[in-house]
């Protein structure tokens, strides 16, 4: 595989991985529906509350937990199937590490050609880092293994969707799925079920993606209009969200499903070990290449989703 082709493929893959990998956590953004203060919820009593009141308790408890271990699976039509495993903290912006593995689809084939189907993803407050294979480093990375994606660069390259992606990557907590259900106004209690041996309460609802972005992002009017146009072109309108909450009012599982122009998007994420210690530091500068510089050197342009094309 020629080095230019490897570069183009892996740059695209790593940007997509940044989004789909951190989708395991979700974007928190500012709380526009209620206060974040107060004591943690009383736990078991929450299952006797209305769905909205119960979810507000879950939102607070999960937000205050600060960190968690994350396991997720994601698929998008025949484009990709992937897993993400690791730990993330959201106490002061998103930080953490995930191991992202492509298990199927077109991107798994591209990753095979690039030398490895797995990559380490490292999230810091101002940038996302992707660790590529030795093959990639030799053929396209100038001997360097890490690609640095500045969130500011991704915002510029992706237009409105890039700005939204920056917003999501910099501000992420598991309770975003709870916020989404609260913002939708369409949520119901499904029942009580067991998840990994623990008692949970299951809630479900549908959200209108464009309306949700309008409520929970910091985009200005022009950026919001452009994002809605991009979402329409991508065939994304509504998303079905299910969450499972334990007796401590902590989110332990979520699923998301949406139809897109590239096929059905499915995500399942499990959360555990809330409060786990998470360490994440920038990789060595000597082993890191900047995404924006790579784009310039290879003459690539940005696509509508912030991926290289």
Tell me the pLDDT tens digit for each residue of 82-102.
999 999 998 877 899 999 999
Q: Looking at the predicted structure, is the pLDDT value of residue 122 above 90?
A: yes
Q: Which residues contact 285 (CB under 8 A, 6 or more apart)?
A: none
**In angstroms, rounded to a whole number, what is the distance separating the alpha carbons of residues 102 and 181?**
29
Q: Which residue has the higher pLDDT, 103 or 211?
A: 103
Q: Which residue has the higher pLDDT, 90 or 8?
A: 90
Best-predicted range by mean pLDDT (75-79, 157-161, 183-187): 75-79
Contact predicate 187/52, CB 8 Å: yes
Q: Looking at the predicted structure, is the pLDDT value of residue 293 above 60?
A: yes
- The confidence band for 45, taking pLDDT boundaries of 50, 70 and 90, is very low
Q: Name the least confident of 35-49, 95-109, 278-292.
A: 35-49
- Coil, strand or helix at 265: strand
- The confidence band for 139, taking pLDDT boundaries of 50, 70 and 90, is confident
Distance of CA 252 to the CA centre of its chain: 16
Q: What is the pLDDT of residue 194?
A: 96
| Mean per-residue pLDDT, 263-270 | 89
Q: What is the pLDDT of residue 36?
A: 36
Q: Name the least confident of 6-20, 61-75, 117-131, 173-187.
A: 6-20
CA dihedral 143, 144, 147, 153 (to 10 degrees): -80
Kindly report the backbone phi and psi dihedral angles of residue 132, in degrees, each rounded to the nearest multiple of 5, phi listed first: -100, 175
Q: What is the pLDDT of residue 308?
A: 31
| Mean per-residue pLDDT, 221-237 | 59
Q: Looking at the predicted structure, is the pLDDT value of residue 149 above 90?
A: no
**In angstroms, rounded to a whole number, what is the distance separating the alpha carbons of residues 221 and 50?**
34
Q: Looking at the predicted structure, is the pLDDT value of residue 68 above 80?
A: yes
Contact predicate 233/30, CB 8 Å: no
Work out the end-to-end distance of the chain between its first and last CA atoms, rounded to an integer number of angstroms: 17
**In angstroms, rounded to a whole number, what is the distance separating the alpha carbons of residues 66 and 60?**
11
User: Mapped to the 3 state alphabet, what secondary structure does 68-106 carry?
Assistant: EEEEEEEEECCCEEEEEEEEEECECECEEEEEEEEEEHH
Q: Name the least confident of 101-115, 193-207, 227-241, 276-290.
A: 227-241
Model pLDDT for residues 204-218, shown as the tens digit of each residue: 988 766 555 555 555
Q: Looking at the predicted structure, is the pLDDT value of residue 2 above 80?
A: no
Whole-angstrom CA distances from 204 to 52, 169, 177, 185, 188 are 11, 25, 10, 11, 6
Q: Rounded to two decimals, what is the model's pTM?
A: 0.77
Percent of the chain with pLDDT over 90: 25
Specify the residue for token string 């999230």: 123
Q: Which residue has the higher pLDDT, 107 or 155?
A: 107
Best-predicted range by mean pLDDT (109-113, 208-212, 244-248, 288-292): 244-248
């Amino acid at each position: 595989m020629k080095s230019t082709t490897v570069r183009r493929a892996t740059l695209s893959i790593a940007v997509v991985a940044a989004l789909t990998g951190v989708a395991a956590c979700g974007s928190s953004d500012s709380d526009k529906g209620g206060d974040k203060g107060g004591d943690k919820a009383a736990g078991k009593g929450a299952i006797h509350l209305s769905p909205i009141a119960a979810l507000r308790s879950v939102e607070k408890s999960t937000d205050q937990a600060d960190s968690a271990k994350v396991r997720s699976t994601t698929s998008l039509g025949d484009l990709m199937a992937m897993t993400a495993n690791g730990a993330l903290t959201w106490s002061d912006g998103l930080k953490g590490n995930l191991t992202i593995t492509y298990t199927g689809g077109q991107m798994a084939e591209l990753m095979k050609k690039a030398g490895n189907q797995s990559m380490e993803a490292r999230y810091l407050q101002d940038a996302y880092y992707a660790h590529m294979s030795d093959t990639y480093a030799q053929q396209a990375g100038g001997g360097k293994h890490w690609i640095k994606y500045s969130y500011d660069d991704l915002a510029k390259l992706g237009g409105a969707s890039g700005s939204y992606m920056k917003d999501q990557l910099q501000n992420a907590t598991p309770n975003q799925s709870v916020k989404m259900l609260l913002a939708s106004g369409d949520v119901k209690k499904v029942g009580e079920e067991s998840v990994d041996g623990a008692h949970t309460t299951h809630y479900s609802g549908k959200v209108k993606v464009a309306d949700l972005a309008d409520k929970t992002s910091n985009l200005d009017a022009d950026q919001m209009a452009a994002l809605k146009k991009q979402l329409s072109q991508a065939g994304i309108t509504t998303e079905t969200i299910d969450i499972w909450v334990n007796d401590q009012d902590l989110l332990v599982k979520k699923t998301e499903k949406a139809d897109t122009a590239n096929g059905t998007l499915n995500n399942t994420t499990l959360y555990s070990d809330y409060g786990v210690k998470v360490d994440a530091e920038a990789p060595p500068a000597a082993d890191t290449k900047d995404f924006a510089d790579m784009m310039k050197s290879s003459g690539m342009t940005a696509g509508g989703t912030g991926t290289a094309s």
